[in-house]
Amino acid sequence: MRLKSTGLLIGGLATLLLAGSPFTPVRAEGEESLLKDDAGNTIIRYVVEPPAGVAPAGTLDPAKQVGLILCFPEHEHPTGEEMVSVRDSLQRLRVRDGYVLLAAHAQSPIGKFGDADEVPLEKLIEWAKKTYPINPRRIYMFGRGEGAKITGEFGTQHPNVITAGIMYSWGFWKFPAEIKDPLGTQPEFYINLGLKDLATHLVRVRETYSAVKAKGYHTIYREFPDQGAKTYFPVGNDDALGWAIRMRNKNVVPSAAELNLVEHARSTRKPGAPEFASLELVGGAPAGAVIQRYFGSQDANVRAAAAESCGRALYGEPTEAALAKLVSDPAPKVRQAAIASLALAANWRSAAAQSALIRLATSTDPKVLPADRMAAVDALGQAMKLQVPGVRQDPPVFQALVQLLDSPDTQLRAHAFAILSPARTSDYQPDASPEARKAALAGWQAWLDEITAKETAYGKTM
């Protein structure tokens, strides 16, 4: 069936509230179009924003291909409203020219997404892939309210299409009947909850997190005290999109051109910036296998560059586990690069990265340099920054930090307390004597037990 696209200029303006600003600037939504079949029947309403200078459809060069971010609004909101949050975040991340933004309206006139939207969305994605040079390993979803619902439901039903989904202010409850190897084959999710949102939304989002955790999906769950229902929240937007665009679909095989880039990098004896850029472009496990080989290079510059590359792409848990070994590399610059990249991965809940940083931060091995141990504590602080004021998803990391409150090293105690202090009021003093710290430490242990029990409860309530 040949699809046709016709333009339809609609009225209505999309608004956004800038964080920390008393003003509400108004921005035009853009032109809404209709995707039609050969008989002239409307398949779906959409708004599209390709980057300037995008290459022609069918382009095979991976460097000229682009990703696709599907944007879904809350019901009874303009079709392209959520493109504002995505567009501005990509601009801040300096990658706007690498993505086509595509907003879709539900089949329901009032914007309620459901089963009737599955086939139209499949056709819309196919239309986008025929119209723009979309790399099929780089397709993501972003939605608020009803848009969050379709992000979860369509994403879980289409693991061979969707790489990752970002959700705000609502959730979903429809999953595939059977899920095999969710960590290795399924999309990953970033769930956001503004604590100034409606009470019913708070309940639904938390139920959704519990459900996806129970199913085994890799999920980043944030609660932001200063956020409401709106998705325009730069701190959260940039973290979520920065995470998503570093990933590649786990089930889509790289193209021949991508595999050629990987093979060229694999066969290069002394890789430089072009080889690393190619591997980061391809991303995922195929490129990660080559990065792991570089970790074993006799050249410290290559090892350091490979470690730094892990901060610009997510190559998967096997690569993070291999990267963890470099924290004991003989070259300081390699150790520093490894710790910095592990901090980013730990923030996005890589178990291998978190474990490596915990081991280094809490090590009592005299061979571990104090500067490296301190760098690991700083990395844990970076990784936990968005968890401390909200939901504490990773109790083992907090356990390590609480343990460091009783370290014999005063500076380590102070660093750990600086990370933990926003979480609760405490009279703990890093420079106090062991006896004087005892009561305050008991309070921190009780808090740790509480957050551990709360997190354990998620995933068992659905």
Q: Would you say residue 16 has pLDDT above 50?
A: no
CATH of the domain at 64: 3.40.50.1820
- Give the model confidence (pLDDT) of 419-458 as tens digits: 999 999 999 999 999 999 999 999 999 999 999 999 999 9
Q: What is the pLDDT of residue 269?
A: 87
CATH of the domain at 306: 1.25.10.10
pTM higher than the cut 0.75? yes
Same domain, 344 and 278: yes
Same domain, 79 and 155: yes
Q: What is the pLDDT of residue 20?
A: 35
Residue 459 tokens, joined: 């995933």
Strands 99-104 and 164-168: unpaired
Strands 13-15 and 26-28: antiparallel
Phi, psi of 4, deg, nearest 5: -120, 150
Nearest Cα residue to 224 out of 204, 244, 243, 196? 196
* DSSP state at residue 445: H
Number of structural domains (the chain) is 3
Q: Residue written as tokens 């500067």? A: 371
Distance CA 76, CA 100 (A): 24
Same domain, 413 and 378: no
- Give the model confidence (pLDDT) of 302-312 as tens digits: 999 999 999 99
Q: What is the pLDDT of residue 462?
A: 44
Strands 42-49 and 26-28: unpaired
- Given 351, 385, 419, the domain boundary residue is 385
Query: 144-175 in b/e burial notation, b at 16+ Cβ within 10 A?
Result: bbbbbbbbbbbbbbbbebbbbbbbbbbbbeeb
Q: What is the pLDDT of residue 28?
A: 40
Q: Which helix (H) or strand (E) holds 418?
A: helix 410-420
Query: 281-304 in b/e burial notation, b at 16+ Cβ within 10 A?
Result: bbbbbbbbbbbbebbebeeeebbb
Distance CA 105, CA 11 (A): 15
Average pLDDT of the chain is 92
Range of the domain at 413: 394-462
Q: What mean pLDDT do residues 176-194 have?
A: 94
249 occurs within a structural domain: no
- Given 244, 269, 291, the domain boundary residue is 244
pLDDT band at 459 (very low <50, low <70, confident <90, very high): confident
- Given 385, 414, 436, the domain boundary residue is 385
Neighbours of 223 (CB within 10 A): 22
Query: 72-93 in b/e burial notation, b at 16+ Cβ within 10 A?
Result: bbbbebbbbbbbbbbbbbbeee
Same domain, 129 and 51: yes
How far from the centroid of its chain's Cα atoms is residue 332's Cα?
Answer: 29
- Percent of the chain residues past pLDDT 90, beyond the cut: 91
Q: What mean pLDDT do residues 331-356 have?
A: 98
Residues 6+ apart with CB under 8 A from 314: 243, 246, 247, 283, 284, 345, 348
Cα–Cα distances (Å) from 431 to 373, 413, 436, in that order, read 19, 8, 10
Question: Quick one: how many helices (H) and strands (E) in the chain?
Answer: 17, 11
